[in-house]
A and B are shown apart, each in its own frame.
Chain A
Amino acid sequence: MSPDRYSALTLPQPKTPGEERALVDAFRSGLEKLFRREDNWTFLRPLLITVEHCVRCQTCAEACHIFTGSGRQEIYRPTYRSEILRRLYFKYVRHKRWQGAVELDWKTVSTLAELAYRCNLCRRCAQACPMGADNGLVAHELRKLFSQEMDIAPKELHAAGSLVQLRTGSTTGMNPAGARDCFDFIDEEMTEKTGIPIKTPWDVEGADVLLIHNAGEVLSWPENPGAFAVMLTAAGVSWTLSSELTAYDAVNYGLWYDDVQFARVALRQIEAARKLKVKRIVIGECGHAHKALTVIADRLLPSDLNLPRESCMTLMRDLVLSGRLPVDPTRNNFPVTLHDPCNVARLMGITEAQRDVLRAVCPDIREMSPNRTENYCCGGGSGFALMSGKNFLDWRLEVAGAKKMEQVLAAFEGSMDPGILKYICAPCSNCKGQFRDLLARRGLWKSNRIFYGGLAELVVNAMRDVKPGFLEWEWR
Chain B
Amino acid sequence: MTVLLSCLAYLAGAVFLAGSVFRAAKYARTPVPLRWELYPIPRGAAGQIRYTLAEILLLRGVWQHNRKLWFRTWPFHSGIYLCAVSLVSLAAGFARFSEWAALAGLTLLLAGASALLVARIFDPALKPYTSPADFFNLGWFAAAAGIPLASFALELAAPATVWRAVLTFHPVPPLAAAGVVLASLLVAYIPFTHMVHFVAKYFAYHKVRWDDRPDAAVAAQLLYTPHWSAPHVGADDAKTWAEVAGASPSTEKKS
B22 within 8 Å of A (CB atoms) = no
Measured CA separation A149–B231 after assembly (Å): 9
Within 8 A of B (CB), among A101-154: 123, 126-134, 137, 147-151
0/1 per residue, B204-233, Cβ < 8 Å to A? 110111001011101101101111111111
CB pair B209–A132 under 8 Å, yes or no, is yes
Lowest 5 CB-CB distances: which A-B pairs, in order?
A132-B204, A130-B61, A349-B39, A41-B31, A263-B245
Chain B nearest CB, measured from A408 CB (Å): 23
Q: Does A224 lie at the interface of the complex (its beta carbon under 8 Å from any beta carbon of B)?
A: no
Residue of A49, A74, A126, A303 with highest tally of chain B CB at under 10 A = A49
Partner of B204, one of A33, A46, A83: A46
Binding stretch for chain A, among B95-103, B105-113, B129-137, B149-157: B129-137
In the complex where A147-B230, A148-B230 touch, is A260 in contact with B34 (Cβ < 8 A)?
A: no
A59 touches B66 (CB 8 A): yes
Beyond A41-B241, A296-B34, A349-B40, whether A166 also contacts B249 by CB under 8 A is yes
Q: Give the docked Cα–Cα distance between A235 and B154 (Å).
A: 84
User: Using Cβ atoms and an 8 Å threshold, which residues of chain A touch B64?
Assistant: 128
Q: Does A44 contact B (CB under 8 A)?
A: yes
Complex Cα–Cα for A54 and B197 (A): 9
**Contact (Cβ within 8 A) B228 A56:** no
Which residues in chain A, 1-54, are within 8 Å of chain B measured between CB atoms? Answer: 26, 29-30, 33, 36-39, 41-46, 48-49, 52-54
Question: Given the interface contacts A33-B227, A57-B66, does A49 sit within 8 Å of B200 by beta carbon?
Answer: yes
- A397 contacts B by Cβ under 8 Å: no
CA distance A347 to B247 in the complex (A): 29
Interface string of B230-255 (1 = CB under 8 A from A): 11110000000100111111000000
Chain B residues closer than 8 Å to A405, beta-carbon distance: none
| Chain A nearest CB, measured from B121 CB (Å) | 14
Give the contacting residue for A373; candidates B39, B69, B128; CB below 8 A: B39
B194 at the interface (CB under 8 A from A): yes
Which residues of A have CB within 8 Å of B33? 41-46
| B residues in contact (CB < 8 Å) with A | 27, 30-41, 55, 59-62, 64-66, 69, 73, 125-126, 128-134, 136, 194, 196-197, 200-201, 203-205, 207-209, 212, 214-216, 218-219, 221-222, 224-233, 241, 244-249
Whether B30 contacts A44 by the Cβ 8 Å rule is yes
Beyond A44-B33, A49-B204, A373-B40, 17 additional pairs, beta carbon < 8 A: A38-B224, A38-B227, A45-B27, A49-B203, A60-B65, A62-B66, A99-B131, A123-B38, A126-B209, A127-B38, A129-B61, A261-B232, A298-B35, A299-B32, A302-B219, A303-B216, A346-B39
A218 at the interface (CB under 8 A from B): no
A63 touches B (CB below 8 Å)? yes
A55 within 8 A of B: yes
Residue count of chain A within 8 Å CB distance of chain B: 76
Bound-state CA distance A56–B197 (Å) is 13
Say yes or no: A49-B208 contact (C-beta < 8 A), given A58-B126, A61-B125: yes
Q: Pull 21 A–B residue pairs with CB atoms less than 8 Å apart, ordered by A.
A: A41-B32, A41-B33, A41-B224, A41-B241, A43-B34, A45-B208, A54-B194, A57-B126, A58-B126, A62-B65, A130-B61, A137-B36, A148-B230, A148-B233, A163-B232, A166-B248, A260-B233, A267-B246, A306-B214, A349-B41, A373-B39
B59: which A residues are within 8 A, CB to CB? 130
Is the Cβ of A52 less than 8 Å from the Cβ of B200? yes
A55 to B134, CA, bound (A): 9
Give chain B residues whose Cβ lies under 8 Å from the Cβ of A349.
Answer: 37, 39-41
Q: Is B130 a contact partner of A56 (Cβ separation < 8 A)? A: yes
Cβ–Cβ contact A52 & B65, under 8 A:
no
Flag if A346 contacts B38 (CB, 8 Å): yes
A135 CB, min distance to chain B CBs, angstroms: 12
With beta carbons under 8 angstroms apart, the residue of B32, B219, B224, B229 that contacts A26 is B229
Least Cβ distance of B216 to chain A in Å? 7
The answer to whether residues A59 and B38 also contact, given A53-B200, A129-B61, A133-B204 and a CB cut-off of 8 A, is no
Tell me which residues from 262 to 304 in chain A have a Cβ below 8 Å from any Cβ of chain B: 263-264, 267, 295-296, 298-300, 302-303
Smallest Cβ-Cβ distance to B26: which chain A residue: A48
Closest to A54 in B: B194
| B-chain residues with CB within 8 Å of residue A133 when the two chains form the complex | 204
Indicate the member of A29, A163, A296, A299 with the most B CB atoms within 10 Å: A299
For the complex, give the distance between the alpha carbons of A46 and B206 in Å: 11
> A450 interface residue, CB < 8 Å from B?
no
Given contacts A45-B33, A46-B204, contact A151 B231 (CB under 8 A): yes
When chains A and B are docked, how far (Å) is the Cα of A80 from the Cα of B203? 24
Q: Which residues of A contact B36 (CB under 8 A)?
A: 43, 46, 134, 137, 296
Closest to A96 in B: B133
A345 interfacial contact with B, CB 8 Å? yes
Which among B64, B130, B131 has the greatest number of chain A C-beta atoms within 10 A? B131
Nearest Cβ on chain A to B236's Cβ, whole angstroms: 13
**A296 and B35 contact, CB distance less than 8 A:** yes
Inter-chain contact B200/A345, CB cutoff 8 Å? no
CB distance from A101 to the nearest CB of B (A): 9
Known: A98-B136, A130-B55, A306-B214. A260 touches B244 (CB 8 A): yes
A348 within 8 A of B: yes
